Every structure is written in structure tokens, then in C-alpha cells.
Amino acid sequence: MAQQLVDRRDLDFVIWEQMQSETLIDNDDYKEFNKKTCDMIITEARTLAIKEMLPTLAEGDKQGVRFEKGDVKVPDCFHDVHKLILEGEWQSLAMSPEMGGQGAPGFVSAACAEYFLSASWALYSYTSMGNGTASLIDLYGTPEQKKTYIPNIVAGKWGGTMLLTESQAGSDVGALETTAVKNGDGTYTLSGSKIFITNGEHDLCENIIHPVLARIEGDPPGTKGISIFIVPKYFVNDDGSLGDRNDIVCTGVEEKHGIHASATASMALGSKGKCVGYLLGTPKEGMKVMFNMINGARMGTGLQGLSYASAAYLLAVNYARERVQGRNLEDFKDHSALSVPIIKHPDVRRNLLWMKSYVNGMHSFFYYLTSCATRGALGKTEEERERFGDLFDMLTPSIKDYLAVRGHEVCIQAIQVYGGAGYCQDYPVEQYARDCKITSIYEGTSGIQAMDMLARKLGRKEGRVFASLLEEIGLTIAEARKIEGLEEIAGQVEKVVNRLAEISMIMGKRAMSLEFKTAFVHSLPFLNVIGDTIMGWMLLWRANVASQKLANGAKKKDLSFYNGQVKTAQFYIQTILPEVLGKMDAIAAGCPAAIEIDDDGFGGL
């Protein structure tokens, strides 16, 4: 069976039936789009992903990137497909027409990206990562900077990055040591080094534009003293042509556990004393500027985790349909009975439904948050824009970490379905698991996301934003209570939601008390139970929609799909969600052992 990457029926269900995205494109900003055009775009993306990009997945992983005297060579198979992506302008699908993009609705660009990321994340990131750079320049750049850089970045002719991390300043950005000295002509001379720079150097584009965090000489320490600069690989002449090479060079690339085809570069700035940068925005506002990339980066990382999980699950379930091994359990003593596909075995079925419940729930969660972003920007009333804009901002740490961590767990379980074969490189589930692990690390580790939720997001607007999340879930529960057959699982979700409300109060008060360190010890479990609860919400919501379709006379070809939604919700809510109450009890108890243990008590001396 050909690899699917994404369950198109499920994608259509989420977009059109659950999220009712036709209401989102009823807006002047999307007057060029209707359901038919959106479906056509997604279908074309699927074709490109499966026919052209997917063949580069294993080959790119095997060859990896090559570092040759300051230059980085991407896998050979990437070049022709990279041209196809740019020719179709797929890299700029989500960008505004004013910036040279196509201005597609968020759910359309996300659906296309879901196919591209699962087909070959590394390849697609070379074409699309510059969008974040272009957006920063669009928001904070001078008219000259916008004219100089944005058109070629959005067109994919030039690449873009973010130079943030240093060896002594990873998550502690304020400890960075890269410096900037102002020159007489208003430019700055930069000096320093950066590590873990995705696409910091490669041979797929003619220029790379680097936003660089640095401290202007004399500015205060910490994050409040950081500025941000545009540092091009090649200078740009007044006529738009490329000039001399700037003094920014790649000093090496990392050999990694996964994403071998992605160039993770170390960069040196000013090794010859001639690295020139151009201030973006105003001095000492570098963190403010950079944070405009954060929510988009978190969403992108969450989608990456989801894409790997979706592809791995589909491989596993179809392998289970085809792999014949062992007799049916009822025929265990009958040695003459024929062997059956492993999908007939109870534990394999449990594992597959475990995977399906998370993939389905994460699918809905991602597109719900995508719709929140759209409604936050284009909602018809100020109240709608504020409500959904706040929900989007609050839930980005959750979407990033939950989809990353659970996505990796799904990939691991996909290997389990394959057994020993899945541990071998003959099957792509092994690569998906390796590639997925990075998603819980970059763009802020799990612990960073948890601290953000507890320290910044939970108490926003005196807790009213978190309360609005619980209200949204409550609407789904109330609807489910009216549907025959869903009353019991609706009550079980309500029980967990009520307990989450209590836990949020406990955590908020503890974080503001003398026990604040204990609160942060439990911040990641707290972030996890928020995600677990949201999974229950999303699956109950799916069951609501499916049950109504069944009650209204669904087409025969859709019966298994809709019944599958109900069974998936029942499985998660009745077998997994009860465990979440235990997790919440542990959070409420607030064991301080991790704070109280002596450093030497960890052992290893």
C-alpha cells in the first residue's frame, strides 16, 4: 500500500466538519478562496509531497549534509525538488499578498505543510524558514530594509534564519556575549559566535539573511540590553544585485540523532573584524522583536511533531493489516488454524487505538488553535478577536510541547507495531522516531514551555483567559450530554475539567507563595494534564459531530469513519483520561523532594 502521510478523510473532517472552516473564509481577506479552491490546493500539495518530496526522505537522511571548507552541501536529491517547490510558490502560501505571498487561510497552509513536513521536513524547511525572517523585517524594518530583503526571501530565492543560541547562553538568552559596535555610517560591527543554527549555511539559495541577537557595546546586561540586527551572508547592492561576502561564516555542522538532512550550523561573526549588521527596530528591543517569531515557531514545531506521528501511525496501521502472524486468540489451541493479520490481535488493536486517539486529538487541537489565530486577527467583533487571540497566545506552549512529546511517543509505538522490523532502517518509522525527538527540544524545551505556562500564561488577565478555555470545553460537554450514547463520556470529561480548574488554582497560589520552587517542579506535569484534558475535549467534540452525522443518515461509505470517531473518544476518555486524575492528585500534593534533595544525593559522584 502506498504511503499516505496524512489521513485525508480525517483532515477534511477536522477542517470542514469539526472546525467549520467555511465560516473562517467568509471574510474579505479570503475572497479568492472557497471550499473548492481550498480542497484543490490541498490535493495538489498532497501530490507534490507523495510523488516528489517523499522519495527524498530516506535518501536525504542517509546522505545527510556535508561540510566542506565553510560551505554546506545538502543532499543531492534535494535540488530538483526544491526548484519544484519554489516554482509552485508553495513556500509562500501563507504569506500576505503585500509581501509577495498568496495569502491563503491558515488552515489551508497548515494542511499543505502537514503533507510537506511528513514527506521531508528538512527539504521543506529550507524553502519556508525564511518566512519568519521576512515577517520580522516587515514588522520592524525600515522601508529600505523591506524593499531590499522581503521579496527575495518570500520567493525562496534567499534563505532566512534566527541567530540566537550561544554555547554559554542557550535558554538563558540574556547571557549572550555577541557584541555590536556602532559605526559612523549607522551600521554596526558584530563579533561573536552562535550554535545550533538551523539552515545557517546551505547551497540551495544564493543569499541567506540572518537576524542576529547581540548587545550593543555599553548596553546593560540581561535580556533588556539585547538588540537585533540584519546580517546578510552577501551584501546587497543598491540595484538589488549581490555584492561582497559579509564576515559571517559557518564553522561546522552538527552530527545529530535525527534530521540528518537539516544543516544545524555553528556560525562565527566577525572573525576578520568585518561583520556588518543593520539594526532591526530600535536598540534594546531585540527580545521584543524576536518574540514575534515565537508563537509561529511553536506552532510549526507542534505541526512537525503531529506530522511525524500521523505518518508513523498510518504506516503502522496499514502494516498491521498486511502483516500475517499468529492465530486468532479464540483459535489459540487449534494448531491447524490459519494465521491472521496482526490487526486481529487484542494488544495490537489496543496499541493502534492508543495511537489513533492521540493523532486524532492532536490533529483537532492544532487546527482549533489555527482557527483561534484566524479569529483573533479577523474576528467580526472586538470581543471575538480578544477572546480567541488570548486563547491562541495562552495555548502555544501547550501545542508546542504536547504535540512534540506525544508525537514522539506515537512514533515509538509505531515501531512497536512493526516489531524488530521497525527498529531497522528498512522501514521509515525508525526515521520518523529519530527525527521527531528534536521537536521537544528546540524552540524551547519542555521545561521552558511549562515555565512559560505557569509564570506567564496561567494568570493572564487575572485568570480570565484560562477560564475562557474551560468555558469552551464546557460548551462541548453540554452538547454531548444531549446526544444519546455520549452522556457517560461527557460526564467523565467534565469531571477531569472540574479537577483541572481546581489544580490551576492550587498551582497559581503555590507559584506566588514561598513554595514557588515546588510549584515549578510540577509545572511540566501541569502542562501535560492541560494537554491530556484538551485531548479529551477534542475527541468528545469529534464524537459529537460524528454522532450527529450518523443520526442524520450518513452515507454508507462514511459509517465506519464516524463510528470510529465515537469509539476512539470512548477509548481515550474511558481508558486514558482516568489516569489524568491521578496525575492531578500528584500535582495537588506538591511533593517537594526534587527541591529538598541535596545535590550530592543524586549520586554519580
SS (HEC) of 167-206:
CCECCCHHHCCCEEEECCCCCEEEEEEEEEEECCCCCCCC
Give the separation between CA 345 and CA 336, rounded to whole angstroms.
Answer: 18
C-alpha cell of residue 571 = 477509548
Give the separation between CA 574 and CA 580, rounded to whole angstroms.
Answer: 11
C-alpha distances out from residue 66 to 63, 168, 323, Å? 8, 26, 38
CB atoms within 10 A of CB 288: 14
**In which element (H, E) is residue 68 found?**
strand 66-68
Q: Distance between alpha carbon 267 and the CA centroid of its chain, in Å?
A: 25
* β pairing state of 242-245 and 226-232: unpaired
Give the separation between CA 139 and CA 351, rounded to whole angstroms.
Answer: 46
Residues ≥6 apart with Cβ < 8 Å to 588? 502, 503, 506
C-alpha distances out from residue 529 to 122, 166, 328, 534, Å? 31, 32, 37, 8
Give the separation between CA 147 and CA 166, rounded to whole angstroms.
Answer: 30
C-alpha cell of residue 355 = 495511537
- Which of the following is catalytic: 89, 443, 484, 596? 443
Q: How does DSSP classify residue 282?
A: S
Q: Give catalytic status of residue 479 as yes or no.
A: no
Give the separation between CA 355 and CA 410, rounded to whole angstroms.
Answer: 6
Give the separation between CA 364 and CA 346, rounded to whole angstroms.
Answer: 27
Give the separation between CA 100 and CA 156, rounded to whole angstroms.
Answer: 11
* β pairing state of 179-182 and 207-216: parallel
Give the separation between CA 566 and CA 545, rounded to whole angstroms.
Answer: 9
Q: Which amino acid is at 593?
A: A
Does residue 264 sit in helix, strand or coil?
A: strand
C-alpha cell of residue 379 = 474576528
Measuring CA to CA, which residue among 151, 155, 136, 139 is closest to residue 210? 136
* β pairing state of 248-253 and 158-160: unpaired
Beta-strand runs (E) in 71-206 = 71-73, 158-160, 179-182, 188-198
Q: How does DSSP classify residue 257?
A: S
C-alpha cell of residue 12 = 477534511
| CA–CA–CA angle 544, 548, 552 (5° rounding) | 175
Burial, 55: exposed, middle or buried (Cβ in 10 Å; 0-12, 13-18, 19+)? middle
CB atoms within 10 A of CB 367: 24
- The greatest distance separating any two alpha carbons of the chain, rounded to the nearest whole angstrom, comes to 89
Q: Tell me the catalytic residues.
A: 443
